[in-house]
Amino acid sequence: MCASHAMEDRNEPRVYEIGFQLLPTVPTADLEAELATIKELITSRGGQEIASQTPELMDLAYEMSKTIDNKRTHFSTAYFGWLKFEIDAEMIDEIDAAMAVLPNVLRFILVKTVREDTVAKRQRPTRKPAPTDNPENPAADADQKGDVDEAKLDEKLEAIATEEKEA
């Protein structure tokens, strides 16, 4: 690729996503303001938001640390959020540098991506009615289920425990 073609590519808008972790010490009421700060950082450089997620508190897979007021502080939780946006490629270095100095950002990652929604939607498990569920007559349903014989249950549990010990 020639040099002029490489420069031409840097001036074209591209889609990026920034994933970020905010310090868990940020008050919940300030999370929207922190996200707005990151959005402003991008829009002030000509970027356009495509999608975003408000940060949510998560346990970290491993402890992370950040130097705050000349003291190394360790964190096991952080607020995770993301922002997908379109911007000229030449502005990415500026965004990267600006994110690195935000005081409430623990860590971030900036990647080139596609405009399409690539996030797998979380499906909430739905309860399927039991074959004996009878919404019209709950009393009949209770009769069909019957009482549990605790003595038989104890015998079964003892048998299972004995089998596991022998194995």
Instruction: Give a three-class secondary structure readout of the chain.
Output: CCHHHHHHHHCCEEEEEEEEEECCCCCHHHHHHHHHHHHHHHHCCCCEEEEEEEEEEEEEEEEEEEEECCEEEEEEEEEEEEEEEEEEHHHHHHHHHHHHCCCCEEEEEEEECCCCCCCCCCCCCCCCCCCCCCCCCHHHHHHHHCCCCHHHHHHHHHHHHHHHHHC
pLDDT tens-digit map of 123-167: 666 655 555 555 565 555 544 555 667 777 778 777 777 776 665
Show the domains of the chain with their CATH numbers.
8-112 (3.30.70.60)
The 10s digit of each residue's pLDDT in 75-108 is 999 999 999 999 999 999 999 999 999 999 999 9
pLDDT, greater one: 28 or 135: 28
Query: Which pLDDT score, from 0 to 100, does residue 160 have?
Result: 79
For residue range 32-76, what is the model confidence (pLDDT) as tens digits?
999 999 999 999 999 999 999 999 999 999 999 999 999 999 999
Q: Which pTM value belongs to this model?
A: 0.64
